[in-house]
Structure 1
Amino acid sequence: MPQPTPTDNSLPLKTSGYRSLAEALDYASRGATGCNFYDGRGKLQCALTYTELRHKAQDLAARLHGMGLERGSRIALVADTHPDFPVFFFACQYAGLVPVPLPAAVHLGGREAFVAHLRAMLEDCQARAAFAPENFAGFLEEASVGRGLALSGTLDAFMRLEPAASLPPPPRPDELAYLQYTSGSTRFPRGTMITQEAVLDNLAGILQFGVQIRRGDRFMSWLPYYHDMGLVGLILGPVISQLSVDYLGTREFAMRPRLWLNLMSRNRSTISFSPPFGYALCARRLRPSDLEKFDLSAWRVAGVGAEMIRAAWLQGFADALQPAGFDRSAFLPCYGMAECSLAVSFAPLGQGLETDRLDAERLAGERIAEPANPAAADRRVTEFVNCGRPLPGFEVEIRKGDGQLAAERECGVIHLRGKSVMSGYANNADATAAALDSKGWLNTGDVGYRAGDALFITGRAKDLLIINGRNIWPQDLEYVAEQQPEVRAEDASAFAIPGEDGSEVAVLVVQCREQDSFRQAALVERLKQRIQSEFGIACLIELVPLHTLPRTSSGKLSRSGARLDFLKRNDLQDRPILPRELVQRTPHTEAAEPSGN
């Protein structure tokens, strides 16, 4: 029976000074730490020390090099939580090839949709070979037909290749380390080109200034390997810092989220990250009897990012787990994106959640983040979480619609420049030109403001609703729905569609667990009244079955996908909605029968 790799390591801690990811693994392999893989019942299936990882990666690298592929060729990797993935990823580093992690998630579209998604990605990245673990090999085989790949299959297929006599020269700092696909909710996902020096610079900032790594730390992760937080933060981060890490599969976490806490307790893990919905899901599944099983007192960094941070979800998690030793000051809000390797900013370590409560009317009408007046009870309030100070080396500008710099507490689009920023989008010159200007500034597409040296994110520019000349954030409408007893977190998606007179019409699609038609109608009317009262706008409400709202490959709700599905369901793809249809289509109770759990 395997034993987990140790937390303590005799190797001197080192987080920077590497010329490549391969060199970082060379150093980590001199110690005793490594990565550990647990199944859906919390049983350790594999313990892979960094010494073993390096040996296996170099062995595979010799076989990849023996294929005679041009240096820098793309190797697609279906990125399931499996020991073969890091072996393949680092083998590419040693072989002078570029790994391309692909999603390992068969969504509700089923096999056909997933295969089509893989096929499109293989074409987009111009892959020369492709790997998948056994449980995804059939999907990859089908997606690879006609692609002209030199080889496609499991690790065993590649290990049957003849190895080259020697390995090629190690990667240069300016060579690509990998392609990272964005989750992409409005267009087909785009592959960000990340160089060795870009990701190493970002990791040094994360480890030294973000989580402030120390001896005795231990990572824990259930995040997907194909997501930037999972790949960079929780695969590369442990290697760069020579720390042990424990992995639970994303699907296993979704089915048994309490396993996350169980493994954190058992292994005395100190660092783990999650999007807000992960904390909310975990808190929702807790039972009172669980608390005596957990000891979370070692958890010093509970990172939170990857989507808009909702303080209420995290406070609920902290309240529920406080008896098990969870310290709410461990919350570490952060902001980042694949286009910047991973992280841009971190809140101060140990501060926990700090929120900025704003006058929602001033924000909507003038885009000014004015602190709310506690005495003005008649004014609507909205709040945002402090995402902290940018990492050293980042330049940050908040720009208004006319391109001018925004003043402090004035909202605008966030632009970034620094060594961690991508080289561009692979094989997509138009998208690269739209995102990166000639001076190296990246248009993030995110809207936010500065308050002192702190950065606050208010949403995505593309998601903003402009109704009757007012700026409405979709998460505000979604929050109203989630406060209803019939609706849970992430059961609502808000967006706008065109109206007959050229204006925008707000739409709120809600996954409904209630089956009684009278109660459905009451929920719709309650939502319409609340939104009219709080925001002064009319809103079309549609109730749909559970599991209807689409998600991106990283698990986030896709508002653009929900909008497209709504238009298709209601036959509105090619025309605006008419005023009479606002009444006729509300509520959409015929779609409200739950389809299951």
Structure 2
Amino acid sequence: MTDSLPASPGSAPISVAGFATLAQALDHAASVDAGMYFYSGRGQLTEALPYARLREQSEALARRMLARGLKRGDRVALLAETDGDFARSFFACQIAGLVPAPLPLPAALGGRQTYLEHLRRMVESVGAAAALTPAAFESWVAEACAGLPLHFVSTIAHLDDVVPVQGELEAPSADDLAYLQFSSGSTRFPHAIAVTHRAVIANIDAISLHGLQITGSDRCASWLPFYHDMGLVGFLLTPLCCAISVDYLATREFARRPLTWLQLISNYGGTLSFSPSFGFELCARRVENGGVPEGLDLSRWRAAGIGGDMVRPGPLLKFCESFAGSGFNPGALTPSYGMAEAALALSFSPLGRGLKMDRVDTDRLERDHLAVAPAADAPRSRDFVRCGRILPGHDIEVRDEQGQPMPEWGVGLIHVRGPSLMKEYYLQPEETARALCGDGWLNTGDIGYLADGEIVITGRAKDLIIVNGRNIRPQDLEWSAEGEVDALRSGDVAAFAIDEEAGEVVVVLVESRAADATARAALCEQVSGVLRARHGIEVRVVPVPPRSLPQTSSGKLSRAKARALYLAGSFKLAGAG
């Protein structure tokens, strides 16, 4: 498909600091021979959307939206399908001075009513004045928004007959809101993160100039959802601001045919693509059963980024092994750290280095909050992946429980500041005050340490399990069980603590595919034994049905929701043994 070849190559890293707004970036991208390309699950091109056409169609839609009664600053809920209509809707908002709020699609599993209630709450939380949706979900969104004071709930096509407003449109300013990004909701109901044009442009500039050193010869590929910061900022806004082409596969299609992602990279010369660890794992697992596609060429993939969750070394090393024959370079692995509260990225590991890990004494980590190398006779240790230095223009501190900065290798709460930070949690001043300090620092809620100036993430503060003075990361328990019990796969385990009269109890939920109670009991005993031997703790192992552990909209395990469901007895109601 020659119409989807990349723009003319260039060699100098691109800076986007000259753009004040995303609308200005779109104006520039429209002058370049590049664009967005959408593919089916079988790799067939379904839409080619050059940036010039996107600019033209977005302005036409902006004028029709304003004609339907919207005014500058109004929030517009956008159901974030991976298609050209979402891009048109998002940039129509930019041109019209509206504030888009991307919303998640329904999960593959889960109740319709629960999703509609969740959607309504999100729409209400930002005071949306309108909603745009794909035709397939129009009735769902209309039902979710019934009775709310919206000007319209519509598809783009249903606005075609609206007479557009005429005249010059007032351009947004750098300090206007560019969009509202909902947090993943792994430990609470998602907050709407208010991101200004100035903040997102600053982040994209740091990503393109320093983190990934993007040039005009680069090309992106992505299966990440547009309602997640890594999908929206990383693979919609960054390629557009840099005026380079990007190939898209819908998230649901990736889940069905993950190797199509790699085939797009191979077919169209992709150089930049990111995924959480589980995406690489899914690809490696798929070729174990069916083999590597013939002719797959991953040799041009220079930055295979990992983000969106804690970096898991095991699946990444397996991916390298599985695709070595396809030209994949292990040095391309690029662990990163970031969050929607900082638009997207805060650090990238050095390009071309691949994984760099610290082996840490687990006992010292849990009891003394120190990341130190284990002695030869240390009973327990584990590896953590370095995620590189903080991006230029940003600062980072690791603080203890009293809020004092810690030296390198001290494990504590990570705080950051810089030009990429959010303005606020929209319409939530108390939550904003808890996260943003008066001196401009953001409490990320992540736990980690600095090693030679590089960021290393060890967990989330709200997920920590505290047993007899030990700070135990639930990921350690989950990964041990998944790695040592043959019946378990990645994502099959959730660990958390609950308070009972006798004290704190560590609960470990395991998805069991066994049909009979005896097999489920044997699985639970095996998991208990592994965790007793590896971590020295007693746990209550509870079998739950396959695919019943709750996930956030971005695919992360939600331990908070799993805990709530367990306490409510929902897993027993679902038929757990």
Q: TM-score range by the shorter chain?
A: over 0.9
Q: Distance in 1 between matches of 2:487 and 2:9?
A: 53
In the TM superposition, what is the alpha-carbon distance from 1:488 to its structure 2 partner? 0.3
Match of 1:121?
Answer: 122
AA of the residue aligned to 1:568: A
In the TM superposition, what is the alpha-carbon distance from 1:67 to its structure 2 partner? 3.2
Q: 2:327 aligns with which of 325, 328, 343?
A: 325
In the TM superposition, what is the alpha-carbon distance from 1:280 to its structure 2 partner? 0.8
Q: How big is each residue's C-alpha offset from its partner over 1:131-162, in whole Å with a ceiling of 9 and x where there is no partner? A: 00111211111112101211111001223222
Q: Distance in 1 between matches of 2:260 and 2:226?
A: 18
Question: Pairwise mapping of residues 553-568 of structure 1 onto structure 2 (< 5 A)?
Answer: 553-568=553-568
Match of 1:233?
Answer: 234
Whether the 8 Å contact between 1:5 and 1:48 is mirrored in structure 2 is no
Q: TM-score, normalised by structure 2?
A: 0.96
In the TM superposition, what is the alpha-carbon distance from 1:543 to its structure 2 partner? 1.1
| Percent of aligned pairs sharing the same letter | 46
Any gaps of 5 or more consecutive residues in structure 1? 572-584, 593-597
AA of the residue aligned to 1:5: S
Q: Distance in 2 between matches of 1:63 and 1:590?
A: 51
Q: Secondary structure at the match of 1:591?
A: coil
Whether the 8 Å contact between 2:544 and 2:576 is mirrored in structure 1 is yes
AA of the residue aligned to 1:310: R
Q: Distance in 2 between matches of 1:170 and 1:254?
A: 39
Match of 1:444?
Answer: 444
Q: How big is each residue's C-alpha offset from its partner over 1:4-63, in whole Å with a ceiling of 9 and x where there is no partner? A: 432133799553310110100101111110000001221100000000000001111111
In the TM superposition, what is the alpha-carbon distance from 1:476 to its structure 2 partner? 0.7
In the TM superposition, what is the alpha-carbon distance from 1:107 to its structure 2 partner? 4.9
Whether the 8 Å contact between 1:72 and 1:97 is mirrored in structure 2 is yes
AA of the residue aligned to 1:506: V
Q: Could you say if the C-alpha distance between residues 167 and 190 of structure 1 is closer, same or farther in structure 2, counting changes exceeding 3 Å?
A: farther
Whether the 8 Å contact between 1:396 and 1:414 is mirrored in structure 2 is yes
Whether the 8 Å contact between 1:486 and 1:514 is mirrored in structure 2 is no
**Poorly superposed stretches of 4+, deviation over 6 Å:** none
Match of 2:261?
Answer: 260
Whether the 8 Å contact between 2:15 and 2:205 is mirrored in structure 1 is no
Q: 1:315 aligns with which of 310, 314, 317?
A: 317
2:518 aligned with 1:533, yes or no? no
In the TM superposition, what is the alpha-carbon distance from 1:444 to its structure 2 partner? 0.6
2:384 aligned with 1:399, yes or no? no
AA of the residue aligned to 2:296: F
AA of the residue aligned to 2:182: Y
2:576 aligned with 1:591, yes or no? yes
Q: Distance in 1 between matches of 2:3 and 2:481?
A: 44
Q: Distance in 1 between matches of 2:35 and 2:565?
A: 44
In the TM superposition, what is the alpha-carbon distance from 1:65 to its structure 2 partner? 2.5
2:344 aligned with 1:370, yes or no? no
Whether the 8 Å contact between 2:364 and 2:371 is mirrored in structure 1 is yes
Whether the 8 Å contact between 1:354 and 1:386 is mirrored in structure 2 is yes
Any gaps of 5 or more consecutive residues in structure 2? none
Match of 2:416?
Answer: 416
Count of residue pairs brought into register by the alignment: 573
Q: How big is each residue's C-alpha offset from its partner over 1:336-374, in whole Å with a ceiling of 9 and x where there is no partner? A: 00000000111111111111110000001111001123x
Match of 1:65?
Answer: 66
Whether the 8 Å contact between 2:37 and 2:45 is mirrored in structure 1 is yes
2:218 aligned with 1:217, yes or no? yes
Q: Could you say if the C-alpha distance between residues 107 and 570 of structure 1 is closer, same or farther in structure 2, counting changes exceeding 3 Å?
A: closer
Question: Pairwise mapping of residues 107-256 of structure 1 onto structure 2 (< 5 A)?
Answer: 107-256=108-257
Higher relative contact order (CA 8 A, sep 6+): 2
Whether the 8 Å contact between 1:65 and 1:167 is mirrored in structure 2 is no
Whether the 8 Å contact between 1:413 and 1:446 is mirrored in structure 2 is yes
AA of the residue aligned to 2:5: P
AA of the residue aligned to 1:36: Y
Question: Pairwise mapping of residues 495-510 of structure 1 onto structure 2 (< 5 A)?
Answer: 495-501=496-502, 503-510=503-510
AA of the residue aligned to 1:328: P
Q: Distance in 2 between matches of 1:367 and 1:474?
A: 16
Q: Distance in 2 between matches of 1:367 and 1:25?
A: 47
Q: Secondary structure at the match of 1:127?
A: coil
Match of 1:361?
Answer: 363
Q: Could you say if the C-alpha distance between residues 570 and 225 of structure 1 is closer, same or farther in structure 2, counting changes exceeding 3 Å?
A: closer
Q: Distance in 1 between matches of 2:2 and 2:69?
A: 38
Q: TM-score, normalised by structure 1?
A: 0.93
In the TM superposition, what is the alpha-carbon distance from 1:521 to its structure 2 partner? 2.3
Q: Secondary structure at the match of 1:170?
A: coil
- Bigger mean CA offset, 328-337 vs 183-192: 183-192
- Bigger mean CA offset, 525-534 vs 306-315: 525-534
Question: Pairwise mapping of residues 260-339 of structure 1 onto structure 2 (< 5 A)?
Answer: 260-286=261-287, 287=289, 289-339=291-341
Match of 1:24?
Answer: 25
